[in-house]
Structure 1
């Protein structure tokens, strides 16, 4: 029985998500789009190898979730790469944005770089949410979380402040040696290619970072 064909799909055509996209089997509904359908195909992939950056990306989501008291159901770096959570997120909007931004920021940190979105990209993502034209990539979810925190009536500058605060929190936490060690440990496991169950994820992360230890002082909302 032949393996399903892999394709690279776009989320929303904006910023990092436009350049990066995501890889998934052509016959799997990943539902990255707000309408609940797969994003448009960018290209077909003949020979896919799991990249270290993908392992770091998914591991960072999982580590920040663990540190924010969120239970993990599973994680995988194989297409479709994702982290599935086993319980609702009770963290603050800023913490939720940090969990999302941790992934691309950790990829950059592995190359000794620190990144935030440009003002232009921030405006684009935030405007897409207002127009209900957003997808399900990390950056679109960040923009949606920011608007949910402030309300549309507060205006884009208020939403941008929350958007940016979450990004900066992710960068601050990524400076911690225990956070980076936990990400690398889980990334090594994800590189094996199998789906990693939640219990194993938490066990690997807990060796470096206690559950809930990244929670901030503000009340969750």
Structure 2
């Protein structure tokens, strides 16, 4: 077993998921970020796996600490879409996003890609808000220092900048 080492990039990634989840009214239990990966665990049965905007907020938030933004091309995304359509279980964020979109849209690749881009733009718009950016930075900074945070502690840090539940989607399954 290797030593647990926090990671800046992964901390911003997980903080992006966490802050958008909080805005959607979700309750985090724990968040962690290491050089080997990270994750956010949520309380109760949730539709977080279907919230494509929240899924994409992670990869998009990674660039905050280096002031860049990664937006994959359609060619970059095509292998993910094809893998999910062929029944491969993909646990990385793009695989999760395409799984949710295919379940929701089911239609042609063009329709699924269009829905992906819409969710991507929504995530970018949210992450560009000063309050959201400040919340992501606050959580990521502490997560980089500690490597793990209890959900309540991460929510308290983010809540200094955002109003949890302010973007709750009442009709989300």
> TM-score, normalization: structure 1?
0.70
Kindly indicate whether the alpha-carbon contact (under 8 Å) linking 1:186 and 1:205 is maintained by their aligned counterparts in 2: yes
Could you tell me which residue of structure 1 aligns to residue 38 of structure 2? 81
Which runs of 4 or more aligned residues in structure 1 lie more than 6 Å from their structure 2 counterparts after TM superposition?
Answer: none
Quote how far apart the aligned CAs of 1:123 are: 2.0
Tell whether 2:29 aligns with 1:5.
Answer: no
The equivalent of 1:189 in structure 2 is: 142
Structure 2 counterpart of 1:56, from 1, 8, 12: 12
Equivalent pair of 2:56/2:123 in contact (CA under 8 Å): yes
Give the match for residue 83 of structure 2.
128
Q: 2:62 aligns with which of 76, 86, 107?
A: 107
Higher helix proportion, which one?
2
Is the 8 Å Cα contact of residues 91 and 220 (structure 1) preserved in structure 2? Answer: no
| Alignment counterpart, residue 213 of structure 1, candidates 148, 166, 170 | 166
Q: What number of residue pairs does the alignment pair up?
A: 172
The answer to whether the 8 A contact 1:74-1:85 is kept is yes
Name structure 2 gaps, 5 residues minimum: none
Name the Cα RMSD after superposition.
2.2
Q: Report the 3-state secondary structure (helix = DSSP H, G, I; strand = E; otherwise coil) of the residue aligned with 1:88.
A: coil
Does the CA-based 8 Å contact 1:92-1:219 persist in structure 2? no
Say if 2:94 is the partner of 1:139: yes
Q: Pick one of 122, 140, 150 that aligns with 2:105.
A: 150
Q: Say whether the 8 Å CA contact 1:183–1:205 is kept in structure 2.
A: yes
Q: Which has the higher Rg, Structure 1 or Structure 2? A: 1
Q: Tell me what 1:68 maps to.
A: 24
- Distance in 2 (CA, whole Å) between partners of 1:121 and 1:215 is 31
1:53–1:91 Cα change, 3 Å: closer
Query: Could you say what secondary structure the match of 2:66 adopts?
Result: coil
Distance in 2 between residues matched to 1:170 and 1:163, nearest whole Å: 11
Structure 1 runs not aligned, ≥5 long: 7-47
Partner deviation per Cα, 1:86-136 (whole Å, 9 max, x = no partner): 12334795xx11111111111124333333221112222111111012420
